[in-house]
Amino acid sequence: MKGNDEFGCLDNPITSEGKPPNPRTPSFGQQSPTTDGVLKPCKKSLVRHPSLQVKSKALDIAIGNGYEVENCGAEFTPIIRSGAWADIGFRTRMEDVYLRIDDFTHDYGLKKCADVPNAFYGVFDGHGGKHAADFACYHLPRFIVEDQNFPEEVERIVASAFLQTDTAFAEACALDSALASGATALTALVLGRMLVVANVGDCRAVLCRRGKAIEMSRDHKPNCNRERKRIEALGGSVYDGYLNGQLNVARALGDWHIEGMKDANGGPLSAEPELMTADLTEEDEFLIIGCDGLWDVFRSQNAVDFARRRLQEHNDPAMCSKDLVDEALKRKSEDNLTVVVVCFQSNPPPNLVAPRARVRRSFSAEGLRELQSLLDGLGN
């Protein structure tokens, strides 16, 4: 899947269920296919529903559950290259969608960040249909760039965009109940040397830092102690690993149609993302973003090791994405598979040579006495 910008798995704006990914009303933007059939962002601004006219700065978003990856090093300017691959796998229908934009602000008509590297990536894993994934893939980045404070308040704006997308999709479902569905979502935003990853659900992003896997997201499973406490505090329950006995994720976009999950005052199923940030350095080689179908058969370090070897062979992030998907199929992953690989260097990952351990040799007191006796004997 070539090209600098991609809306993955949206080659046809009409989904397999025969419904548009976004409601056909003046309140929502439309997608524009190019001559090669790949959907590109419309240059026309998103027209928001009247209830969403308040800028996202009015939303009180708590960023306290975010994490920051510590690092150090001289100033570094990433050279961004990316590729993606998706496969239906052993499922009967494809519900994954991905977004790959190497020049984010240019494609969305912004000039504020034109002089620094800027890119945006996302994977959206639908369940109960593909509509929520399609909707989030198209609208979420627009809520980010249309915030008047972007890019000065990046973390708050990204978190707000997730919640605005969820609210907008609820209104879309109210207009057309056939759109009812849900999706987990993970996005990665690069501005200069800052990396911001936001996640709801069980998609995952893993950063390769000089061969070491650094997880930039946390899987939101109902069995997780932190998620279970939040769910139970909001009136939900966890049964056999499922939220209210129905969903195997604790956070997701959509799913407004499932009773007891969400309402106007909240609910046990949260759309608030968990954020992690990092300042990229020359030791950061690439980022792997994948839906849970990949992580069902790969551990994070295993995926980094596998991708690193492939990039050393061909230095092509698109081929590397395909290699990961093909390997997951060989390992019998039973889900749809979507992978995005983002490289931060122009050169392939270097070979790592482990330093030799220094062997410290010493003599015991008895050995020294025997050696001294031997030397004394030679002297005589």
Task: Report pLDDT digits (tens) over 46-90.
Answer: 333 333 333 333 344 444 455 665 555 558 899 999 999 999 999
What's the average model confidence in pLDDT over 199-215? 98
Q: Enter the pTM of the model.
A: 0.79
Q: Which of 76-80, 160-164, 195-199, 360-364 has the lowest mean pLDDT?
A: 360-364
Task: Report pLDDT digits (tens) over 3-27.
Answer: 456 666 543 333 334 443 444 333 3
What's the average model confidence in pLDDT over 109-127? 87
Q: How far apart are CA 41 and CA 122, in angstroms?
A: 14
CB atoms within 10 A of CB 39: 23
Predicted pLDDT at 71: 54
Q: Is the pLDDT of residue 202 over 60?
A: yes
Q: Are strands 118-127 and 96-101 parallel, antiparallel or unpaired?
A: antiparallel
DSSP line for 98-142: EEEESSHHHHTT--TTTTS-EEEEEEEEEESSSHHHHHHHHHHHH
SS3 276: strand
Predicted pLDDT at 66: 59
Q: How far apart are CA 369 and CA 48, in angstroms?
A: 89
Predicted pLDDT at 4: 55
| CB-based burial label for 26 (10 Å; 0-12, 13-18, 19+) | exposed
Task: Report pLDDT digits (tens) over 315-356.
Answer: 999 999 999 999 999 999 999 999 999 999 999 999 987 666
Task: Report pLDDT digits (tens) over 174-193.
Answer: 999 999 999 999 999 999 99
CATH number, domain 5-353: 3.60.40.10
Task: Report pLDDT digits (tens) over 365-379.
Answer: 777 777 777 777 776
Averaged pLDDT score across all residues of the chain: 83
3-state secondary structure 296-356: CCCCHHHHHHHHHHHHHHHCCHHHHHHHHHHHHHHCCCCCCEEEEEEECCCCCCCCCCCCC
Q: How far apart are CA 183 and CA 200, in angstroms?
A: 9
Predicted pLDDT at 63: 46
**What's the distance, Cα to Cα, between the start and end of the chain in Å?**
84
DSSP letter (8 states) at residue 264: T
Of the chain, the percentage scoring pLDDT greater than 90 comes to 67
Under 8 Å between Cβ of 120 and 99: yes
Predicted pLDDT at 67: 60
